[in-house]
Chain A
C-alpha cells in the first residue's frame, strides 16, 4: 500500500504542477515588450508639424507605411502652390530691383562711370536688405525643424537602441545611439552658434564684394562658404562612417555573443535546454519586429517633419538663382553676383537643415540594420 500512496501523491503533485504551467500568450508578450520600452512616450513626442500632416499617428500606423507616406505626399503636394508662390515673389523682388537699377543706370550719361557705380551700390544694398528679411524667416523655419528633430530623437533613439539591445545587439546599439545622440547635440549647437553667423557673414561679404567690385572681399566670402560646406559635409560623413564601421565590427561581436549564449543554454540545461533556447529566439524575434516597426514609424515622422521646410528652402534657392541668371542676362554683373550670393546663402541653410535630417535618418537605419541570428 505504501507504493500506492506514493503513486497517488506523485499524481496529485504532477496535476497541480501542470495546472500552474501556462504558456505565454503572444499578444501579452508584445504588450509587455511595448510597455517595457515605453512606446507611448514616442507617440507623445511626435512633433506638431508631423501630427498636422499625418493626423493622429501611432506606432501601429507604421504597419501601413504606404498609407502614411501617401498622407505625407498629399500634404506636400497641397502646400506646393503656396511654397512656389512665395518663392516666385522673392525671386521677382530681386528681378524688380535689378530692372530698377538697370533703368536708372541707363538714364545716367554714358561716361558717368563713377556716378553709375553709386546707383549700383544702392541696388546692392537693397538686395541685401531684402535678403536679410528672407534669410531670417528661412533660418527660423530651419531652426524650428532642427529643434523638432532633436526633441523627437531624444525619445526615439533611446527606445530604438533599447529594443536593438534587447534583441541581442548590445554593443552595436549602444555605440550607434551614443554617436547619434552626440551628433544631434553637436549639430544643434553648431547650427545656432556657428552656422547662422557664417551664413549671414557669407552673404553680406558677397554682397559688399559684388557692390564694391572688390576681389579681396569676394575671396573672403568664398572662404566663408567653403568653411561652412566643409563643416557640414565632414560631420555627416564622420557620423555615417562611424555608424557603418561600428555596425559591422560590433555587430559581428554581438552576433557571436548571442549564438554562444544559445549554445550555453542548450548544453547547460538537460532536456529543456534546447526548448529554452528556441523560446528565447522567439522572444528576440518578437522584439526585433517591434524594433523594426518603431524604426519605420520614426522614419515616417522624420520625413513628415523635413518635407515641407526642405522643399521651401530648395524652392527659394532655385527662384533666387533664376533671378540672378536673369539679372546677368540684363548685363548687370555686380547685382547678379549679389543676388547669386543670396541664393547660395539659402542653399547653405538648406544644407544645414538637410544634414540634420540625414543624420537622424542614417542613425535610425543603422539601428534597424542590427539583426542578430
Chain B
C-alpha cells in the first residue's frame, strides 16, 4: 500500500509540473500511473475475487447473481477511472459518454437477473 501511495503521489507531482508546458505528456503520466497501481494491486484483487467466489459457494447464491454483482463492481470501477481521466484531460463530454455507457452496460448485464425474478414470480402463481 505504501508503494502504491508513493507511486500515485510522485506521478501526480510530475503530472502537475508538466501540465502547463506539455499537458498531453501529463495525462499520459497519469494513465501510466493508474495502470501501474492496478498492476501492483493485482494480487490483492485476486484474493478479493477468491473470497467472493468462496462466499458465493457458501451462500448457495446462483452464479448468475454473483456474476452480475462482480461485473457491476468492475464496470463501476472502470467507468469511474475512465471518466475521471477524461475530466482531467478537460474532455467533459467524453466523461459523460463513458458514464452513460457504463450505466447501459450494467442494465444489460442485469437483464438475466430481472428475467429470473419474473420467472420466480410467474412460477409461484
Given contacts A96-B58, A103-B51, A130-B60, contact A115 B116 (CB under 8 A): no
The answer on a CB contact under 8 Å between B124 and A200 is yes
The answer on a CB contact under 8 Å between B61 and A126 is yes
Residue B18 lies at the interface, judged by CB distance under 8 Å to chain A: no
The answer on a CB contact under 8 Å between B61 and A109 is no
- A130–B125 Cα distance when bound, in Å, is 18
The answer on a CB contact under 8 Å between A115 and B120 is no
Residue B73 lies at the interface, judged by CB distance under 8 Å to chain A: yes
- Smallest CB–CB gap between B81 and chain A, Å? 8
Which B residues are in CB contact (< 8 Å) with A129? 61-62, 65, 116, 120
> Which residues on B are within 8 Å of A, measured CB to CB?
48, 51-52, 55-56, 58-62, 65-66, 68-70, 72-73, 75-77, 79-81, 102-103, 106-107, 110, 113, 116-117, 120-121, 124-125
Measured as residues with beta carbon below 8 angstroms from the partner, the interface class of chain A is: 35 or more
The answer on a CB contact under 8 Å between B73 and A125 is no
- Residue from A100, A104, A197 in contact with B124 in the complex, judged by beta carbons closer than 8 Å: A197
Q: Is the interface of A mostly helix, strand, loop or mixed?
A: helix
Residue A149 lies at the interface, judged by CB distance under 8 Å to chain B: no
Which A residues are in CB contact (< 8 Å) with B110? 118, 121-122
Residue of B nearest to A107 (CB): B73
B-facing mask of A98-113, CB < 8 A → 1, else 0? 0111011101110110
Residue of A nearest to B121 (CB): A204
The answer on a CB contact under 8 Å between A119 and B120 is no
Query: Among the interface residues B60, B69, B80, B121, which one has the most CB atoms of the partner chain A within 10 A?
Result: B69
- Residue from A100, A197, A200 in contact with B61 in the complex, judged by beta carbons closer than 8 Å: A100
The answer on a CB contact under 8 Å between A100 and B66 is yes
Residue of A nearest to B62 (CB): A129
Which B residues are in CB contact (< 8 Å) with A109? 76-77, 80-81
Q: Is the interface of B mostly helix, strand, loop or mixed?
A: helix
> Which residues on A are within 8 Å of B, measured CB to CB?
92-97, 99-101, 103-105, 107-109, 111-112, 114-116, 118-119, 121-123, 125-126, 128-130, 132, 197, 200, 204, 208
The answer on a CB contact under 8 Å between B79 and A115 is yes
Which B residues are in CB contact (< 8 Å) with A115? 72-73, 75-76, 79, 102-103, 106
- Residue from B61, B76, B113 in contact with A130 in the complex, judged by beta carbons closer than 8 Å: B61
- A88–B93 Cα distance when bound, in Å, is 52
Residue of B nearest to A205 (CB): B121
- A185–B27 Cα distance when bound, in Å, is 77
Q: A112-B80, A125-B113 are in contact. List 16 more A-B contacts (CB 8 A).
A: A96-B55, A97-B61, A99-B55, A108-B76, A109-B81, A115-B72, A115-B103, A118-B106, A122-B68, A122-B110, A123-B65, A126-B62, A130-B61, A197-B124, A204-B121, A208-B117
Which B residues are in CB contact (< 8 Å) with A104? 52, 69-70, 72-73
Q: What are 12 A-B pairs at a CB distance below 8 A?
A: A93-B59, A96-B55, A97-B61, A99-B55, A100-B61, A104-B69, A115-B102, A115-B103, A118-B106, A122-B72, A126-B62, A130-B60
